[in-house]
Amino acid sequence: MIIKISNLSDGAHYYNFEESVNDLALNEFFVGNVNAEVELSKSRSQIVLNAKLSLKAIFECDRCNSEFEENVVTQYKMVYFFGVEPKEDSSMGITYLPLDSDKINLDNDVKDFSLLAIPMKKLCYEDCKGLCVKCGKNLNEGFCNCSQIEVDNRWSALNELKNKLNN
C-alpha cells in the first residue's frame, strides 16, 4: 500500500487499497484481503492520514474452542512530518519523512494497527455457553447427560427425604 506524494497537491485526497493478508504477513488470524480506506490531507509541512481498516478474521472462541469468523474494523491516524526525527520524540502516530520522500508506504502501520485490533477476549457470541467441564460437550449445541444426571441426583435426594418424612 503505497501513496505517491511527489506531485501531490495540497488538500484532501482519497484512496482505497485492497491487499492480501499474506502479503502483509497478517495471516495468523486474518484471512482474505485487508481493505484500507484512506483519507489524506496534505499541507506544505505535513501530511495527516486517516485510515479505516477492515479485515476478516478466524478466531477460536475462548469458551467453547470453536472457530468463528469475525469482521475486524479499526481506524488509525498518522501524521507525517518532513524532516529529521528529533531524538527525544518517539510518539506513536507521528512519522518523520526524509525531505526528498516521494512516497509513503502504509504496510507496517496497517499491519501494526490490524494486530492491535485483535480483541483480548474472543467469544463466538456474547452468551456462548462454553463446554461442559465434565464431558467437554459444546453446550451451545444442547445439554449433555452430565447436567441431567445432576438433576436426577437432586431429585433422588429429594425423594429420599420425602420417604424419610413419610415414614
Interface with Zn ion (CB under 5 A): 61, 63-64, 124, 128, 132, 134-135, 137, 144, 146
Taking a C-beta distance cutoff of 8 angstroms, is the pair 62, 26 a contact? no
CA nearest neighbour of 39 among 138, 116, 106 = 106
Minimum separation from the CB atom of position 61 to Zn ion (A): 3
User: Which is nearer to Zn ion, 31 or 146 (by Cβ)?
Assistant: 146
d(CA 118, CA 21): 14
Q: Which is nearer to Zn ion, 103 or 134 (CB)?
A: 134
CB nearer Zn ion, residue 145 or residue 156: 145
Shortest Å, Cβ 164 to Zn ion: 30
- To Zn ion, the closest distance from the beta carbon of 162 in angstroms equals 28
Could you give the CA distance from residue 130 to residue 136 in angstroms, rounded to a whole number? 9
Point out which residues pair with 91 in neighbouring strands: none
Cβ closer to Zn ion: 94 or 144? Answer: 144
The DSSP secondary structure of 131-161, one letter per residue, reads B-TTT--BGGG---HHHHHHHHHHHHHHHHH
User: Nearest approach, Cβ of 52 to Zn ion (angstroms)?
Assistant: 28
